[in-house]
Structure 1
Amino acid sequence: MGKVVKAMPGGLVAIVGRPNVGKSTLFNRIVGGRIAIVEDKPGVTRDRLYALASWNGRGFRIIDTGGLDFGGSDAIVKSIRAQVELALEEADAVIFLVDGISGITPADEEIAGRLRRAGKPVVLAVNKLDNPNRMIAQYEFFRLGLGDPFPISAEHGLGIGDLLDAVVRRLPPEDTGEPDHDAIRVAVIGRPNVGKSSLVNRLLGEERVLVSEIPGTTRDAVDTLFEREGHSFILIDTAGLRKRGRVWEDTEKYSVLRALRAIDRSDVCLLVIDGKQGIAEQDKRVAGYAVDAGRAVAVVVNKWDLVEKDDKTAVRMTEEIRQEFAFMTWAPVVFVSAKTGQRVGRILDLVVQIAEQHAMRMPTATVNRVVEDAVQRVPPPSDKGRRLRLYYASQVGVKPPTFVFFVNDPELMHFSYIRYLENQLRSAFGFEGTPLRLLIRQRKSGARPPR
């Protein structure tokens, strides 16, 4: 079982640079054992495009722009341009990686010029300086006009600490969350052209009493605070991130990156999929990010009016969703048409319901009764004559509901038994629409369960 880490949206860092300078190696070096994609559940598509990392207690999200796949003619030029534009549009700080062996190239100068003009916080890292005799090569890069270069070797881990010290100094103060509104924060996410904008317009046009527009944490975004039937909502608007040059039209992966901030700032994510086209790999990728971040999720099947149907169509589609999104079978599904308004009114009712489940806390005594019953029905596994013993459990957090299980030896806890315990908690308490976090800890000698 991997370590469960809560989402830490304390800044977004992009690694940019021309091809073959070591961006992915540096990415892997930085995230190391701190990567927060934690659950080995089937159906989650991951491509190491981003990770949640931390340094000296400061959490941040880091993007490996080398993971972006830009095709078409002049692929290298287009890739470089896309990486830089990504950094300028999205990142709070940029690591500009150059090759200390090759020296400055015209592509390096082009990237440096664009970064200087934008005024983005930049840390210049000179890679492949793993030999003391090569250290002098760093001084050439002063010519790029981006301040002191940091000599590193991503492959061997040299200089990474100094580099990260500089990176976290350039990040903005950690986000304390949305303004203090007693409202449910809702993000509408999904791949391009599934009808997200139409759905947002329908929700804001027919289902609300507008209260105000408030600045969003995402640059250039304006979130909408509105009320419906006694409940307040903040609809997280990514319109400020939607306008892109032609380069972005060549890759759907970029739309995933645009969803990251909205996911981080939300309580509930509405994953919109196209009912006519069906489920795509990117739908699973976006959903996986929301689950990793611990957000409540509902699946909204849009364009249902365009689907030829019989009395089993919705059932078959639901079964397909359960199979393709096997890592979140707890997510409710609603079939709508943003164009006609069909069943759109159910969405906010569903949001209220799963937001309550997402924030639900159960008493320790009640949790332990459920766990004791579960253990009696299916005893814990054993390994080489040693049997797992569960001493007690407690819910220690919400959004998402998080439980700690104290045991004799965490190594004896098989993932299948963790899944069994999760299913028992869901059977007893519901938790519809929300992921659960189950942490396994070794009980300290003499420790007693809380009352």
Structure 2
Amino acid sequence: MKAKNLPIIALVGLPNSGKSTLFNRLTHSSHAIISEIPHTTRDTNRGVAKIDGRAFEIVDTAGYTNQKGQIYQSAMSQLSDTLSKAEVIVYVIDGTVDASAGDDTLAKMIHLLKKSVVLAINKADNSFSALPAEKFRRLGFEAIVFISAIHSIGINDLNEILLKNAPKKGTYTSVDNDEIMVAILGRPNVGKSSLLNALAGETLAIEADEAGTTRDTNEFSLQFHGTQITFIDTAGLRKPGKISKAENIEFYSKVRTKRAIERADICLMLIDANEPATAQDLHMAGMVKDARCGLIVVGTKWDTVEKDTHTMASITEFIRSKLQFVWWAPLVFTSAKTRQNLDDLLALIKDVNSRLDFSLSTPKLNRFLEDANAKNPPAAVKTKKPKVNYITQTGQHPPKFTIFATHPEYMHWSYTRFLENQLRDQFDLNGVPITIEYQSKYKEGKRRTKEDWKK
């Protein structure tokens, strides 16, 4: 997806007014987490709405509050920044209750901006469920529309107002074959949001010492040497046993994190360099391996590590020893605070993505297989000796190879690992998962001769 300079529509309001439900309705997605728990949304969610051939950037903001605390203050700072950039503001209000003092305060803040505003009276599921418009006119907004975001009532009326009030500008392309999707994964407080903000050069995600600060997935795109890279900042994953059914917000955060992995071409698995390779780190690496994504291990907070001449080597050796099952993933140490190695990380992402599309002709693959067998042929198992006949590439992104063999069921895993290492060494496939599967050279249903059984 390529979106450039689209008109910004900001959804604002008090907690639980239905902003996230409206965001999902307008963007035709389930990106924003919906919950009855106040302040579920913390970071701004961004998506694209397409209305009558025009595209708009929709921004879902945190519910307005005057509560104290690092997370609330950061959320309100993001809200203020979004309002300053928006061309149209959709003030979402719960139409089943009177406007509160908080609504009055937020309305005054919006009036000072002198921007186009639509008052969307939400939860108007029928003519009796919402209070009359007169109850909300004291907020001072002329454009008023009754909607039910959850039931899609009044959305067409809202769209007409947006089409009329939003400027015509920007470009949008829904498909971009060159775009690289990158999911940022890691335990809580490992530095995922800090990395996203450092790459963006602005505060897109709230940073706080409190675990579980990020709930929704945040996305940001940048251009690096002519290639668009889209980063998805995910919620920190705790051990499954620590997430109770009552913590439904964190449950849905975990679901969205898994979706981000499924969307990703490459996953960055962030590990705190001060506390590397915990059991949860290993669990997440296993998730990425199962998803067949490219993988880069990122040691974070490198600026906070006490170092000597052996520090990097010893930490690298420790991480490698713990992540032996993804031995092929490159490792880079970074600092979001000092921006150390961030350009190297971007270059590595582009490099690994190019390897995902690795392709080799069948003749070259079979010359490779012949050389590999000369070094280390398959070992015999009991009375059976497996024999490889030929190899062909049967998939890309990531690479997949099929080997036709005699007695493939007796092929030892160590031979497969040997072939994989040979492929990686000869064709520089670090960071890329490789699939090697075996098929019998005999077609299913074909009767074998006595000579065949002797082979």
> Which position in structure 1 is the counterpart of 2:219?
223
Match status 1:370 vs 2:363:
no
1:359 paired residue number: 357
CA shift digits 1:201-232 (9 cap, x unpaired) = 111118xxxxxxxxxxxx97563332122121
**Aligned in 2, Cα 1:388/1:364: closer, same or farther, shift over 3 Å?**
same
Encode CA deviations 1:58-101: one digit per residue, 9 max, x unaligned: xxxxxxxxxxxxxxxxxxxxxxx99xx9xxxxxxxxxxxxxxxx
Alignment CA distance shift 1:250-1:322 (3 Å): farther
- SS across alignment from 1:386: coil
C-alpha change, 1:220 and 1:301, in structure 2 (3 Å) is: closer
Aligned residues between the structures:
260
- In structure 1, what is the equivalent of residue 178 of structure 2? 182
Query: 2:258 is paired with a residue of what secondary structure?
Result: helix
1:332-358 deviation line (CA, Å, top 9, x unaligned)? 111111122111221110100111111
TM-score by length of 1: 0.53
Shift of 1:312: 1.0
Task: Give 2:336's aligned residue.
Answer: 338
Q: Specify whether residues 240 and 414 from structure 1 end up closer, same or farther in structure 2 by C-alpha distance, changes over 3 A only.
A: closer
Which residue in the other structure is 2:436 paired with?
438
1:197 corresponding residue in structure 2: 193
- Given the superposition, is the C-alpha separation of residues 369 and 426 from structure 1 closer, same or farther in structure 2, using an over 3 Å criterion? same
Question: Is this contact kept in 2: 1:187–1:266, CA < 8 A?
Answer: yes
SS at match of 1:382: coil
- State the TM-score, normalizing by the size of structure 2: 0.52
What are the superposed Cα offsets for residues 260-317 of structure 1, whole Å, 9 maximum, x if unpaired? 1111000011111101122211111111111111100111100011111111111111
Q: Note the 1:52-451 alignment, pairs <5 A.
A: 179-205=175-201, 223-238=219-234, 257-445=255-443
- For residues 175 and 218 of structure 2, the distance between their equivalents in structure 1, rounded to whole angstroms, comes to 13
Amino acid in structure 2 at the alignment position of 1:320: F
CA contact (8 A) 1:364 1:394 kept: yes
**What is residue 209 of structure 1 aligned with on the other side?**
none
Specify the SS of the correspondent of 1:279. coil
- Cα deviations by residue, 1:405-432 (Å, 9 ceiling, x for unpaired): 1111221111111111111111211111
C-alpha distance in structure 2 between counterparts of 1:310 and 1:328, whole Å: 27
Aligned counterparts of 1:323 and 1:250: Cα–Cα separation in 2: 35
Please report the RMSD computed on the Cα atoms of aligned residues, expressed in angstroms: 3.4
| Partner secondary structure for residue 430 of structure 2 | coil
1:384 CA displacement: 2.5
* Change beyond 3 A, Cα 1:308–1:394: same
Residue identity matched to 2:192: K
Could you tell me whether the CA contact under 8 Å between 1:295 and 1:434 is conserved in 2?
A: yes
Q: Residues 400 and 434 of structure 1 are in contact (CA less than 8 Å); yes or no, is this contact kept in structure 2?
A: yes
- For residues 253 and 324 of structure 1, the distance between their equivalents in structure 2, rounded to whole angstroms, comes to 27
Residue identity opposite 2:340 in structure 1: Q
- The whole-number CA distance in structure 2 between the counterparts of 1:221 and 1:250 is 16
Q: CA 1:315–1:438 in 2, change beyond 3 Å: closer, same or farther? A: same
**With CA pairs under 8 Å and 6+ residues apart, which has the higher RCO, 1 or 2?**
1
Evaluate the alpha carbon distance shift between residue 314 and residue 258 of structure 1 in structure 2; reply closer, same or farther with a 3 A threshold. Answer: farther
In 2, are the aligned partners of 1:391 and 1:407 still within 8 Å (CA)?
yes
For 1:262 and 1:432, how far apart are their aligned partners in 2? 22
Residues 1:365 and 1:352: Cα distance change in structure 2 (over 3 Å): same
Paired letter, 2:305: V
Q: Which structure 2 residue ranges, 5 or more long, are not aligned?
A: 1-35, 41-173, 203-214, 447-455
Cα distance per residue 1:222-270 (max 9 Å; x no partner): 633321221211222447999xx99888999986544211110000111
List runs of 5+ in structure 1 lacking aligned partners.
1-80, 86-177, 207-218
Partner of 1:105: none
Q: Secondary structure at the match of 2:201?
A: helix
> Residue type of the partner of 1:420?
F
Offset at 1:444?
2.7
Instruction: Say which one has the larger Rg.
Output: 2
Change (3 A) 1:299 1:201: same
Distance change in 2, residues 1:435/1:241 (3 Å): closer
Provide the secondary structure at the position in 1 that maps to 2:370.
Answer: helix
2:222 maps to a residue whose letter is F
Contact conserved, 1:220 with 1:241, CA < 8 A, in 2? Answer: no
